[in-house]
């Protein structure tokens, strides 16, 4: 029987990130298949992963704009990994953006950005229409990621964080979430990046490294397809 429990990431798994070059090779092919405009300016916010800022989401935002969406930056600088503080700031950003655009937002979050997007939707479903996560550690927080040692050095209690995440699950999500995940992920254990318990969840496996999820045309195609479904439904 397959073990579906998340596991700690051994350093050797980081070698999987060399597969990023495969995604770079796909970019040339992807440019031949530009996304067809399908939206009418609906706002989509792209959230970066731990240690990154809005620049990391540039390629994805470009694809969103080409597809007719209003692609928004999260505007919170570098994702420091301080989830409680960032979540409060993110909700504040969402309130302003939803008021400006007169509708709830769709959120696409990479890595920790996806976790933040999901938790913002949990707290304020009135502000979030849809969430798409890209290799996001939705189980265990940093415990099952390559950043675990960094968090420990900063004095974070990983077991306490995991317990808090489990506690938050007592409040059910009202927003549909798509989890895009890969067994080739060398940063987050793939078993921690999907949700098989939520009936509204959609889990989609891709062949991609963690770092390449924001540039791989195959992943962008899936993101746009999931956004298209929400427009139709």
At 25-48, the pLDDT tens digits run: 555 455 545 666 688 999 999 999
Which residues, in sequence order, are CB contacts of 229 under 8 Å at separation 6+?
A: none
How do beta strands 177-181 and 202-205 pair? parallel
Q: Which of 25-29, 99-103, 160-164, 222-226 has the least mean pLDDT?
A: 25-29
Instruction: Give a yes or no: residue 18 inside a domain.
Output: no
Lowest mean pLDDT: which of 19-23, 93-97, 173-177, 197-201? 19-23
> Does position 91 have pLDDT exceeding 60, yes or no?
yes
Q: How many residues does the chain have?
A: 233
In the prediction, which pLDDT does 11 show?
62
For residues 81 and 147, the answer to whether their CB atoms sit within 8 Å is yes
Domain range for 85 is 42-232
Q: Please tell me the distance from the alpha carbon of residue 51 to that of residue 35, in angstroms, as a whole number.
A: 29
Q: With respect to residue 109, please indicate whether it lies within any of the assigned structural domains.
A: yes
CATH number at residue 84: 3.40.50.1820
Q: Is a pLDDT exceeding 90 seen at residue 195?
A: yes
Q: Is residue 36 included in any domain, yes or no?
A: no
Contact in structure between 90 and 76 (CB atoms under 8 Å):
yes
Nearest CA to 93 out of 67, 132, 54 is that of 54
**Residue 124: inside a domain, yes or no?**
yes
Can you count the helices (H) and strands (E) in the chain?
7, 6
Cα distances (Å, whole numbers) of residue 148 to 11, 99, 164, 228: 11, 37, 16, 35
How many domains does the chain divide into? 1
> Does some domain include residue 17?
no
pLDDT band at 4 (very low <50, low <70, confident <90, very high): confident
**Which segments within 79-190 are labelled E, that is strand?**
105-110, 128-134, 177-181
Q: What is the pTM of this model?
A: 0.89
Greater confidence (24 vs 40) lies with 40
- The pLDDT assigned to 1 comes to 36
71 inside domain:
yes
CA angle 53, 120, 94 (to 5 degrees): 70
**Are 106 and 223 a contacting pair, CB within 8 Å?**
no
**Assigned domain for 216 exists:** yes
Inform me whether the pLDDT recorded for 219 exceeds 60.
Answer: yes
Residue 33, pLDDT score: 58
The tens digit of pLDDT for each residue in 61-78 reads 999 999 999 999 999 999
């Amino acid at each position: 029987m397959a073990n579906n429990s998340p596991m700690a990431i051994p350093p050797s798994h980081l070698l999987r990130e060399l597969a990023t070059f495969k995604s770079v090779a796909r970019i040339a092919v992807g440019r031949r298949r530009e996304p067809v405009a399908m939206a009418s300016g609906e706002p989509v916010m792209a959230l970066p992963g731990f240690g990154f800022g809005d620049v990391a989401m540039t390629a994805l935002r470009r694809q969103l704009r080409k597809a007719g969406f209003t692609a928004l930056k999260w505007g919170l600088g570098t994702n420091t990994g301080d989830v409680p503080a960032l979540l409060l700031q993110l909700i504040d950003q969402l309130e302003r953006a939803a008021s400006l655009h007169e509708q709830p937002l769709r959120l696409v979050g990479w890595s920790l950005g996806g976790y933040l997007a999901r938790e913002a939707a949990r707290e304020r479903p009135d502000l979030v229409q849809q969430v798409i996560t890209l290799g996001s550690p939705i189980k265990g927080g940093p415990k099952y990621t390559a950043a675990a040692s960094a968090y420990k050095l900063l004095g974070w209690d990983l077991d306490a964080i995991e317990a808090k995440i489990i506690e938050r699950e007592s409040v059910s999500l009202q927003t549909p979430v798509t989890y895009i995940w890969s067994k080739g992920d060398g940063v987050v254990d793939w078993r921690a990046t999907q949700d098989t318990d939520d009936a509204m969840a959609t889990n989609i496996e891709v062949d991609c490294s963690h770092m390449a999820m924001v540039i791989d045309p195959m992943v962008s195609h899936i993101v746009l397809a999931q956004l298209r479904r929400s427009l139709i439904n």
